[in-house]
């Protein structure tokens, strides 16, 4: 039971960040697995909101989309995307989970194109609700693989705002003060953001990983936090719940 893969580690780390009673906007995949794991361990009163309108469901199994009927299972309300995004605008959502093809030092995300927008090399699905969630939820959590193609000095397109260009930039753009990126969880480390510069820094290294390895896989300087930690490996109870109840068919943790 002690053995685990990178995806299981990332999900366990993300789940631990969600406090009991907090509100979190999630999509499918690893973010949903993290929310389900948190509900089954330390946060039974975690309020989960899905973009399609499911509010506070008790998820029986991993849904395959944000509109899957399981996202409404024993929910407090089956509402609409407009109501969920309005709740974000009203400051009612503590956390959201996002990802993207690229991320920069200020936590801005690109999920639109690689290359020039008019003539892209690759075109992705775009924002969906990502821009809305990142603009108005208090803390944005990012789950992604760690390599130089993703962690880039400059995005090809800014789909979703992080701290934009640095201190004061979110507020100048009309976004609520105090919101923004909180943690970036990868297969190598956990990153946070320096409170003065708002640039990304390493908060915790995963087991067997060193700073040189993290920097080698990052396209911009990534310094350590003043008190650099070590990530706690998944516990036996977390792995049991993750494998037997959250994702028994290995749709996510089997990647």
Query: 234-252: buried (b, 16+ CB within 10 Å) or exposed (e) per residue?
Result: beeebbebbbeebbeeeeb
Tokens 């969600």 locate to 18
- Position 2 pLDDT exceeds 80: no
Average pLDDT, the chain: 94
In tens, the pLDDT along 124-181 reads 988 888 999 999 999 999 999 999 999 999 999 999 999 999 999 999 999 999 999 9
| Integer angstrom CA distances of residue 85 from 91, 118, 130, 194 | 10, 29, 10, 28
Terminal CA-CA length for the chain: 18
The catalytic residues are 51
Model confidence at 79, pLDDT cuts 50, 70, 90, reads very high
In tens, the pLDDT along 27-73 reads 888 999 999 999 999 999 999 999 889 999 988 888 888 888 889 99
Domain ranges of the chain: 6-246
Angle between helices 30-40 and 6-16 (to 10 degrees): 60
Nearest-angstrom CA–CA distance, 68 and 48: 14
Instruction: Give me the CATH code for the 6-246 domain, please.
Output: 3.40.1080.10
């Amino acid at each position: 039971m002690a053995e685990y893969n990178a995806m299981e580690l990332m999900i366990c780390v993300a789940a631990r960040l969600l406090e009991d009673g907090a509100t979190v906007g999630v999509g499918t995949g690893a973010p949903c697995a993290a929310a389900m794991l948190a509900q089954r361990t330390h946060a039974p009163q975690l309020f989960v909101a899905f973009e399609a309108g499911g509010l506070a469901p008790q998820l029986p199994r991993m849904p395959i989309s944000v509109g899957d009927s399981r996202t409404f299972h024993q929910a407090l309300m089956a509402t609409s995307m407009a109501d969920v995004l309005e709740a974000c605008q009203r400051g009612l959502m503590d956390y959201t989970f996002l990802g993207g093809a690229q991320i920069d030092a200020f936590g801005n995300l690109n999920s639109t194109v690689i290359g020039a927008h008019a003539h892209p090399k690759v075109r992705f699905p775009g924002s969906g609700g990502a821009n809305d969630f990142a603009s108005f939820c208090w803390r944005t959590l990012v789950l992604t693989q760690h390599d130089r193609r993703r962690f880039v000095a400059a995005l090809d397109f800014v789909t979703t705002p992080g701290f934009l260009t640095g201190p004061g930039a979110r507020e100048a753009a009309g976004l609520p003060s105090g919101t923004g990126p909180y943690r970036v969880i990868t297969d190598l480390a956990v990153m946070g953001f320096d409170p003065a510069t708002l640039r990304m820094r390493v908060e915790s290294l995963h087991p067997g990983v060193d700073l040189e390895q993290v920097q080698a896989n990052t396209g911009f300087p990534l310094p350590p936090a003043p008190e650099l930690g070590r990530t706690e490996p998944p516990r036996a109870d977390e792995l049991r719940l993750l494998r037997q109840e959250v994702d028994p068919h290995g749709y996510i943790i089997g990647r």
